Amino acid sequence: MLWPVLGPRLTFRQRLGVRKTLGRAAYVFLLGTTLVGIATLAALLLDILLDGLPWLSVDFFTNYPSRHPEQAGIRAALFGTLWMAALTALLCFPIGVATAVYLEEYTSQNWLSRIFNTNISNLAGVPSIVYGLLGLAIFVHTLSLGRSVLAGALTMTLLVLPVVIVSAQEAIRAVPDAHRQGAYALGATKWQTVRNIVLPAALPGILTGTILAMARAVGEAAPMIAIAALVYLTFTPVSPLDRFTVLPIQIFNWVSRPQAEWQGVAAAAIGVLLVLMLGMNAAAILLRNKYQRRSEE
Amino acid sequence: MAFLLAACQTTPTPPSDAGTLAGTIEVDGSSTVFPISEAVAEEFHKKHPGVQVNVGVSGTGGGFKRFVVGETQVSDASRPIAASEAAQAKANGVEYVELPVAIDGLAVLVNSQNTWVTCLTTVELKRIWEPGSTINNWSQVREGFPNRPLHLYGPGTDSGTFDYFTEVIAGEAKASRPDFNASEDDNVLVQGVIGDPNALGYFGYAYFTENMGSLKLLAVDGGKGCVAPSDQTVKDGTYAPLARPLFIYVNVASLARPEMKAFVDFYLQSAPALVAEVGYVPLPAQEYEAQRAKIG
């Protein structure tokens, strides 16, 4: 049945050879596919390091944009990116976790919650530029927030909220039901159970999901082009209502210039962006490990 | 100190203005014009640190959308304002003045291994690029060209460069065959033409001057013989029809603000040097003077 071609005519010993060869082939194939991804990332990093390293200096972080490549810096874009990421985290964490708690703990599996869940998953697949245009219409124009950090952060919140909700839902679902039953048995109310039992146990997973969502927000260019689209400005935001720009927009502008030096400046900015994102991912892993150990004690 | 500053000033602006101006100026529009506006904003910021000049790159059309509702004071444009945009400005009570600030040549280029062509006529370019064109081999372009496939490279349809090229070559803005390698990033086009011996492409002249060794520039015959683009032929208008003016549009009402007046004045005053520095061709000096007179 499993070997329709080779069939029963082969002896066990012969089949064993074939199976071992297949096993080795699978190993080589799977190793190869893994290496494709890793080699691509390594080549990308190496290329960026070679191009960008000569342009990295303290001035690169403290200078504003300039038409002279050697004087150009990412101060405005870096601060804008950090402001936007911080505001987005503040906005999407409470909304996302509350939504996940509601869907997981307070609704039963009926047609309404299925519609909610399906829609949240669908929202996660909407192209990011659509969120940008939505944010432009609602936050920038209708709510008159202007092209401010706050409008950008609200747009990014919409964009990453589905990711935060889904990861929080999964983390909450992973909390064993026995823990909840135990709390109820001791007379805890539903909210006490959620607050003291479920959320602490789910926190590592929720934090990981939120930080990964932040990393995505930091790297997004399309919605920010609709909201900010600034590439030359000479100040950093001091309030949520200030104008701003972000690293991906700055990088795109530098890459598209004719003079070869800008490719190096852009590579340096890409390096900074990558370090920022890898740092966030590393923070997610560290936080998860720390809390996981504590909850196992 | 004030005396020294006054002595250095070549403008009639009173020296007391220098450094004391404040406010925010919002500039947006064409990514082609952006390097000029950025250079001017950078120099202006050194003189007047209190004035915040923000420069965006929403594209010519995107910039006008914000300009005609009064959201921006200056709009960078790689084409003149369209009738529909002008009507919107009028409806919103936005009065504006159009100031040409530089000239940009569109270069037609082939791979450096291409030996058979040095000049194309605008008629040939039209036959290649017009909508419905079926030319896909060099031998169809002109009698005697080799039997090799023709691969086309050009800017994406959102670009002002695309609008301008289609208008002067095909006779109607945005009228182009759709089957060419398009990119909004001109550097991608440069790389495409460098790597493809059968390529024919067009993009901003500044992108050619930065990649001179690896591309072959074609002369264009607009009916008066073959002319190759250069600083000289772009400036004196003999490289026709593929040289276009670049503009800034200024909101007239905003000129009442002293920092706006100073910025636009500074723009026109420093344009000859800065335009050349960022890779475009400046207008003759007297044109800038005429425009400064125009804004009073």
Neighbours of A277 (CB within 10 A): 16
Is there a single domain that holds both residue B234 and residue B117? yes
Is there a single domain that holds both residue B42 and residue B163? no
On whether the CB atoms of residues B5 and B13 are closer than 8 A, the answer is: no
Is there a single domain that holds both residue B63 and residue B186? no
Instruction: In whole angstroms, give the CA distance from residue B63 to residue B75.
Output: 6
Residues contacting residue B87 through CB under 8 Å, at least 6 positions apart: none
Which residues in chain A have Cβ-Cβ distances shorter than 8 Å to B206?
A: 258
Instruction: In whole angstroms, give the CA distance from residue A36 to residue B65.
Output: 45
| Dihedral angle sign, alpha carbons of residues B134, B138, B141, B144 | negative
For B286, phi then psi, to 5°, come to: -65, -25
The residues with which B201 forms a beta bridge, in sequence order, are B109, B153
- For residue B286, tell me if it sits in a domain: yes
Q: Which of B39, B23, B21, B25 is nearest to B67 (CA)?
A: B25
Which residues in chain B have Cβ-Cβ distances shorter than 8 Å to A232?
A: 34, 37-38, 41-42, 53-55
How many residues belong to chain B? Answer: 296
Identify the DSSP state of A70. Answer: G
- For residue B228, tell me if it sits in a domain: yes
- For residue B11, tell me if it sits in a domain: no
pLDDT in tens, B126-136: 999 999 999 99
Instruction: In whole angstroms, give the CA distance from residue B103 to residue B247.
Output: 9
On whether the CB atoms of residues B43 and B271 are closer than 8 A, the answer is: no
Instruction: Mark yes or no for CB contact B54/A229 under 8 Å.
Output: no
Distances (CA, A) of B268 to A73, A174, B79, B262: 26, 66, 18, 10
Q: Identify the domain containing residue B200 by its residue range.
A: 108-243
Instruction: In whole angstroms, give the CA distance from residue A134 to residue A151.
Output: 11
Q: What CATH number is given to the structural domain containing B77?
A: 3.40.190.10
- For residue B183, tell me if it sits in a domain: yes
Instruction: In whole angstroms, give the CA distance from residue B281 to residue A214.
Output: 44
End-to-end Cα separation, chain B, in angstroms: 29
Interface test with A, best of B25, B28, B57, B263 (most A CBs within 10 A): B57
pLDDT in tens, A208-250: 899 889 988 998 888 888 887 688 888 888 888 888 999 999 9
CB-closest option in B38, B54, B206 to A67: B38
Is there a single domain that holds both residue B175 and residue B198? yes
Is there a single domain that holds both residue B222 and residue B251? no
Nearest-CA distance B39 → chain A (Å)? 6
Mean pLDDT of chain B: 88
Domain positions in chain A = 12-55, 60-296
Structure tokens at A175: 């909390």
Q: pTM of this prediction?
A: 0.79
Structure tokens at B251: 């909101």
Q: For B133, what's the count of Cα atoms within 13 Å in the CB-facing half-sphere?
A: 23
Domain end call among B220, B243, B266 = B243
Is there a single domain that holds both residue B216 and residue B263? no
User: Token match 């405005």: residue?
Assistant: A76
Is there a single domain that holds both residue B112 and residue B64? no
Q: Position A128: which residue type?
A: S
Cα B245 to the center of its chain, rounded Å? 6
Chain B from 150 to 179: CB within 8 A of any A CB:
none
Q: For B74, what's the count of Cα atoms within 13 Å in the CB-facing half-sphere?
A: 30
Domain end call among B243, B261, B279 = B243
- pLDDT at position B8: 43
Task: Cite the beta strand spans of B122-212 per DSSP E.
Answer: 151-155, 181-183, 199-204
Strand-by-strand arrangement of the B226-227 sheet: B119-121, B219-221, B226-227
Chain A from 213 to 242: CB within 8 A of any B CB:
228-235
Query: pLDDT 10s per residue in chain A (297 long)?
Result: 455 555 566 778 878 888 999 999 999 999 999 999 999 989 988 999 898 888 888 899 988 888 888 889 999 999 999 999 999 999 999 999 999 999 999 988 788 888 888 898 888 888 999 999 999 999 998 998 888 999 999 999 999 999 999 999 999 999 999 999 999 999 999 999 999 999 999 988 898 899 889 988 998 888 888 887 688 888 888 888 888 999 999 998 888 888 888 889 999 999 999 999 889 889 888 887 887 665 554
| Dihedral angle sign, alpha carbons of residues B166, B167, B171, B172 | positive
Is there a single domain that holds both residue B61 and residue B142? no
| Dihedral angle sign, alpha carbons of residues B259, B8, B268, B159 | negative
Instruction: In whole angstroms, give the CA distance from residue B259 to residue A101.
Output: 53
Is there a single domain that holds both residue B134 and residue B211? yes
Is there a single domain that holds both residue B47 and residue B145? no
Q: What ipTM is given for this predicted complex?
A: 0.73
Is there a single domain that holds both residue B135 and residue B214? yes
Interface test with A, best of B30, B31, B42, B270 (most A CBs within 10 A): B42
Residues contacting residue B176 through CB under 8 Å, at least 6 positions apart: B129, B130, B131, B154, B157, B162, B165, B166, B170
Domain end call among B201, B225, B243 = B243
Distances (CA, A) of A219 to A152, A278, B40, B209: 13, 11, 30, 32
Structurally, chain B folds into a number of domains equal to: 2
Is there a single domain that holds both residue B160 and residue B172? yes
CATH 3.20.20.80 fits A60-296, yes or no: no
Structure tokens at A112: 């309404």
